[in-house]
Every structure is written in structure tokens, then in C-alpha cells.
Amino acid sequence: MALMAMAFPILPGKTDQWRRFAAELVGSRRDAYVASRQRLGVHERAFLQSTPQGDLVIVTLEGADPAAAVSQFGASGDPFTQWFRDQVLELHGFDLAQPMPGPIPDLVIDSRPG
């Protein structure tokens, strides 16, 4: 299993809206969310991190190929994925349908023996 982590700043003043988005993902949209990630072959986790510079969402994707899953997600046109992409654009200011700017995150430290 590969693991990838990414940090996404929440736009100023949007943290309460992000919390409502997250509540939908674990509530009324849970089945669609889980099905989406199963189709992509990843297990996703999100952490809200408040900092003096603003709030961040730290997302981890674990699966056979998390980087490919990100690309596949951007290309999907199903209603849940479109809704999710619209939320990300509104809350974080970037379009998941476009390639991620820059390289994928680089794992630099891992405490696992080996």
C-alpha cells in the first residue's frame, strides 16, 4: 500500500462552511463518498489543522496508486464527484478537474523499520 498526504489551505472565512461540507461527507453523502473512494482504490482521511496562518485540511490517500487516483478523480463526471469538486473550488480555491500544480508530495521521513 502506498500513502500520500497533501495539505490544502481553507480560504479565509470558509472554515465553518468546510465543517458543513465534512459533515455531509460523513452524513447524508457518506454512501456516495465511500463508493467514490472504493472506485478509485483509495482510503481517504482528512484532518482539520488550525494554525496562526490559517486553517488547513490535511488529506491522506492510501491505496495501490494514490497519485493515479487523484488524476482519475479529476476526470470523473458523476454527480457526487462534480459536487465534491465544486465544494473544493469554493472552499480551497482550486479545480480538481485540472492537474495539480507542481509535483506530488514527497515522503521524506518514515519511522517504519526497514
pLDDT of residue 114: 76
pLDDT score at 74: 77
- Predicted pLDDT of residue 99: 82
Residues in the chain: 114
Closest CA relative to residue 3, chosen from 85, 110, 84, 101: 110
Mind giving me the DSSP string for 83-98? HHHHHHHHHHS--TTS
pLDDT of residue 103: 84
Residue 58 has what pLDDT? 97
Q: What is the DSSP letter of 28?
A: T
Domains and CATH numbers, the chain: 2-92 (3.30.70.1090)
Supply angle C-alpha 73, 35, 78, rounded to 5.
50
Query: Residue 102: what pLDDT?
Result: 78
Sign of torsion, CA 56 7 102 91?
A: negative
Per-residue pLDDT of the chain in tens (114 residues, 90 and over written 9): 899 999 999 999 999 999 999 999 999 999 999 999 999 999 999 999 999 999 999 999 999 999 999 888 878 889 999 999 999 999 999 998 888 777 888 889 999 897
Q: Which amino acid is at 42?
A: V
Res 81: pLDDT = 94
